[in-house]
Structure 1
Amino acid sequence: MYHPKTNEWDKKLKAICDRIDSWLEESYGSKYSLRPNRPERGETANPEMDGLFNVQALFTPGYQSEMGRGYLIEIELSTLEDVDPVVEQEILDLVLVRLKKEIKNEFPERLLEIGFDGNMIKIWGDLSLGFA
């Protein structure tokens, strides 16, 4: 069982990822075909399981990172087509800007940083969740 504040954090972060997923679907969803086994957007109850994109936050202890522990934002494209690396970077850059706004709106009291850790977007900083 998790602390209620941890559950609240996870719920808000999931909602942010779902909103970004939806925005990506609207912006890029028609540019690539889905993998044959992937349901169309909106066919499941969880946006991670359908449509072209799967956006999720994954906790990392950050052992080999200068930023330390935090949450990596994984953006998976569910297509068998080759995606131009320039388009992949464009998506990452746009998600970074959007994520910064979403995090600031959802967690205004937190001192959080959002940026790249290697080639992935990462959230780090005050992850204490306000309890001892």
Structure 2
Amino acid sequence: MRHGKAIAWERKLKRVFDEIDAELEKAYGERFPLHPARAPLGTTSNPESDGLFNVGASYSAGFGSKFGPGYVVEIHLSTLKHVPRELKHELRKKVRELIVKKLPFAFPGKKIHVDRELRHLRIHGDLSLD
């Protein structure tokens, strides 16, 4: 069973990722054909389940991370085509910029950071539930 405040916090974070997903779909959505098993953009009730992109994060306790506990950002493209490494770097950079821009509005007054760690982005800092 999860604490209600944790659920509310993660709902806010999901809204941020849904906004980012929509921006990526608009900017990059036509670059690759959609995976045949993936629903077309806007045809499901959840942006995680349709379109080319699924951007989200999973909580990590931070063992082995220099940043400690936080959320590891996941950027998935639903296509069978090869996605060039350069585009993956560009997308990671764009997603980081959007997260940095949007988090202060979702979590006003909190000092939350977004840093690159290996090939991922990590959201860390004041993740308190107040």
Please tell me the TM-score bracket, short chain as reference.
over 0.9
Residue 19 of structure 2 is aligned to residue 16 of structure 1 = no
Matches within 5 A, 1:62-81: 62-81=62-81
Tell me which moved more, 15-24 or 107-116: 107-116
Which segments of 5 or more consecutive residues in structure 1 lack a partner in the other structure?
Answer: none
Instruction: Give deviations 1:10-65, integer Å, cap 9, x for gaps.
Output: 11000001000010000000000011111100111111111000111110111011
Identity %: 40
Aligned-pair CA distance for 1:2: 2.6
Structure 2, gaps ≥5 residues long: none
Q: Measure the CA separation in 2 of the matches of 1:97 and 1:54.
A: 17
Cα distance between partner residues in 2 of 1:63 and 1:39:
36
Counterpart in 2 of 1:108?
108
Query: 1:53 is matched by which residue type in structure 2?
Result: F
For residues 44-89 of structure 1, the C-alpha deviation after alignment (integer angstroms, 9 at most, x for no partner) is: 1111111000111110111011001100110000001011100110
How far off its partner does 1:4 sit?
Answer: 2.5
| Pairs within 5 Å for 1:110-125 | 110-125=110-125
Distance in 2 (CA, whole Å) between partners of 1:81 and 1:111 is 38
> Cα RMSD over matched residues?
0.9
Question: Taking structure 2 as the reference length, what is the TM-score of the superposition?
Answer: 0.96
What is the deviation of 1:121?
1.0
Number of corresponding residues: 130
Under a length normalisation based on structure 1, what TM-score does the superposition of the two structures give? 0.94
| Counterparts of 2:129 and 2:112, CA distance in 1 | 11
The amino acid across from 1:60 in the alignment is S
Q: CA deviation at 1:128?
A: 2.0
Report the CA distance between 1:5 and its aligned residue.
Answer: 1.8
Residue type of the partner of 1:129? L
Aligned to 2:59: 59
